[in-house]
Structure 1
Amino acid sequence: MKPSPYPDLIPSFEHERLAALQPYQVLGTPGQGLFNDFVSVVAKLFDAPIALISLVRDTDVVFVGNEGLPEAPVANREDSMCSVAILQDGLTVFEDLTTQPCALVNPYAAQQLRLSFYAGQALRTPAGMPIGSLCVLDRKPRRLTPAEGELLRELALVAQDLLHLQATQAADGALTLSLRGRLDGPLQQTFTRLATLAELQAYEPNPDSAEAQHYTDSRLDEARYLVQTMRRELQNMLVAGRG
């Protein structure tokens, strides 16, 4: 491993972390189908232009799920905020990178991509080793509400299950088709409901009104439904795969 120009990004357990990442390297192709579908929903749930599932490798970060950032399928490790997210137990949140950049990574990368807001949750192996992150980004400053923070943590659990299932059963083409068959329905239902909510909310001129809050609450309810459905289906398939 070559020395990093940002050594604080490298945890003391890096050797063990990279070993834990090995089974997931089969997922090292940027922008994969189900992961893309999932982060598309995540972006809509947060009303954000960008959502990513990342794997933090030795020297780079690959975005296996990429909504809204097609110009960056892979980033240098020192350029990516996901490298910071894997160092944290909880959420990593930067409300405005333009005025308060992260000192652990190269600030010019975010500037070049016109990124202001970042919120990420580390994704872990079943043994608890951080290998990547689920994150949402925006090109304008914003605040992550407590409800949104909890939602991001819950969605990260879904992303972990999805990564684990895809990695351990990557050679099973039938399982991949079965997984898509189980998840396509809930994903498409959520897409439709979120689109309807967005159309209705567009007619509400006052973002602080009771009606606007109702649409926000409805979006969170939709998110919780999706989390519960996807976790149930993924856990069932993980159990079946061990049988």
Structure 2
Amino acid sequence: MMKILVVDDDPNILELVNIHLSQAGYTVMKALNGFEALKLVEEDFPDLAVVDVMMPGMDGFTLTKKLRTEADIPVLLLTAKGELEDKEKGFLAGSDDYVVKPFEPKELLFRIHAILRRYDKAVDLFIQAGPMNINRQSYEVSVGKKVLLLPLKEFELLSVLASKPNYVFTREILIERVWGYDYEGDEQTLNVHIKRLRDKLEKLTAEVIISTVRGVGYKLEVSSS
């Protein structure tokens, strides 16, 4: 699962970003300043960092430069200013993109996803959920010697659900992750794909099922035989 380091001296912004990233299926590492962030990086390596520019002690530009030069971690800057000078300083420090406060959570998620794709980190190539293996290179789903080939959208949907077994993904997040942020269709498309996946998984294994969490979304449950 992708790990995102979020660094902001405002606890409210920190928690807001944490909630939206967690709902999107990311694992979140939180730090209130640059020094905390660097200590966290020594203990666990994130796939991307979301860094506030205006922080006491060590500003976002300095932290970005350290994260890029010392650990080569992609960085998205959060800034309260939209001035050209700040953008220039951010890019010169090594940031990959920036979002201006106040921001829409969807825009933040879209930009994070875009950076991860650029670094080929947006998805794990191999996912395992119980006895089920998903190979994102060959687009095969297998249990033992049984192999299942799925249409692309069904495969992407199963991959998202399997990336975090027993985690409840909201309907909105599933639609955004599989069909994109600009999808204009209705939720019936998701319902149809879930039904088809359930039918196919039933024939593949009894240990992996897709459960409905009423009023919220879906989760992939793994049980031992």
TM-score, structure 2 normalization: 0.26
Task: Indicate the structure with greater strand content.
Answer: 2
Bigger Rg over Cα: 2
Q: Which has the higher contact order (CA 8 A, sep 6+)?
A: 1
Task: Indicate the structure with greater helix content.
Answer: 1
TM-score, structure 1 normalization: 0.24
